[in-house]
Structures are given as C-alpha cells and as structure tokens.
Amino acid sequence: MQSHLIQTTTNNILKSISEFDDVNAIILKDNTLAKKLNVSRTTIRTSLKELEKKGVIEINDNHKVVVRAPVETDYFDTSDGVSSKEEIIEKYFLDLINHGKLLPGDKFSELELAKSSGCNTITVREFLIKFSRFGLIEKKPRAKWKMVKFDEKFALELVEFRRILEMSSITKLMAMPTDDDVWQELAELLDRHVEVLAEVENRYTELSELDRKFHFIVQRASGNRFFMQFFDVVSLICHYHYQWNKGDELERNKVALEEHVAIITQLLAHNTSGVLTAMETHLNTAKKTLLRSAHGLE
C-alpha cells in the first residue's frame, strides 16, 4: 500500500488532469508537477507510476502522456490518512521548509498559512507558538512570523545531540539479525544512492529525501520512542540551515551521498569498525556544514 503522501499526490495529479477539456493533449513533466504540488520529483515519479498502472497515463522513458480522463475509481481514499487539523498544519509547514518554500529571512502571516493549508487561524497560531520553541521562527507584530537561523552554540549543541542519537542507534542496527527486512531496505537504498550519483549534476537535490530515509532507518533501529520523536526535529533543523548557503550545494550533496554509500556498504558487509569510522566521518562533515551555515559563510 502506498504512503499517504503518494496517495495524496496521485489524487492531486488526477485533479490537475481533470481540469483540462482535452486530456489527450496533456504532457506531464516531473519538475512542473513537483513545483506545483510542493513535493519532490521522486514523489511525483512514484505517483505517475501509480497512474500508469491505472491506465490513466503512458510512460515512455521521460515522455509521459495522458491517455484517458480520470474517473472516480482512480482516486485513492485518503480519508483516514490524517486525523486532525493539527497534523495537517504540521505536515504542511514542515513540507514548506523541507522543500525550500520557506527560507531563512522569509516572513509570513498566520492568515496566509491558514488559507494555503486549509486550516483555521486558531489551529495555525497554536501550532506556530508550539513550534517556535525549536528556534526556527520568531513572532512579529500583527500575527506575522519570521524564519530565523540559530547561532554557533545552538549548532554545536545540536550536533552533539545528533551524534549521541546516531552512534547509539547504528550500533543497535548492526546487531539486528541478518534475515531482518532492514538489510534489503538498505540494499535498495544503496542502489538509489548509486543511481543519483551517476547523474548527480541533475539529481543532487534528491539528497534531502535520501538523507531523511537513511537516517530514519538508523534511528528506527534504536527502538526508542524518544529518539524517534527528536529525529524529525534534528533532521529538519539541519536541512533548514543548509539552505543558507546554496553556493556549494552540488558538491556538498555529492559528498553526503558518497558518505552514505560508504556507511551503507560497510553495514551490508557487517563490518563494525568500518561502519563506525564511516559514520564518524559523515557526522564530522555534517558538523562542518552546519557551522558554516550558522556563520552564514560561503
């Protein structure tokens, strides 16, 4: 069964298609849909494959053409995917940050966020007040907010906390049985990294999704609910502050992808010392990157 994000994205693509009178004239493009729906290209491609299975579109290499109009049975039932307005605004807001729609220095109002997310202003205000404790946003007059960055002290504390979580979790991951599904999951993730690296100049922006997937697998191995609660926050803050400096994004992402490959390769070989060494290298690189972002350096 596909995730709620894939189901929602597929439904949104179907809605976009249904807006045209002549659907046979529609050519779908990954980049255009990703920007319009505020999701990654990987998510778009997965959703388009779902539509190909349903017979709505035909995919021939990079050429994607609509072959028939959507019908009601093409849509996923997402009624149980999100259970509350609080979850809706949280997911919507975090997606804006993760996909670079809200950058450091940007200002926004509670009303704007309420309209774009489909939530009421009270729900939005309560969420923002609660979220502000992470130090990424600050309150401004007249129900407005500003995206901010943290200082070096905050960055160092975050890096140290992340190191404790990651090193503890990856040790437990290495102790998992060799027939556990996680090893197949890691093998598939390694293949995806290799594919992206082969076309890294065009696909380096896919790091964010792969990075979250990789570190999620590591943290999940901890079996600790508190580790998992902090995982999203740590991941979000790190990637948010990388957005300050776009100058070396290609090279930075390439290095991160290569470091992931090194770690996963050692994991699949069940080489404990190799895993720990590769993980230390990766965390040290992340520390340097985060500190550069905290200083606002090029």
Phi (first) and psi of residue 130, to 5 degrees: -70, -40
Q: Which residues contact 136 (CB under 8 A, 6 or more apart)?
A: 97, 147, 148, 150, 236, 237, 240
Whether residue 92 is predicted with pLDDT greater than 50 in this model: the reply is: yes
Least confident span in 89-98, 249-258, 260-269: 89-98
**Structure confidence by residue, pLDDT tens digits, 171-229:** 999 999 999 999 999 999 999 999 999 999 998 888 878 888 899 899 999 888 788 77
**pLDDT score for 86:** 76
Kindly state the tokens that stand for 97.
Answer: 């940050």
Global pTM?
0.60
The residue among 243 and 201 whose pLDDT is bigger is 201
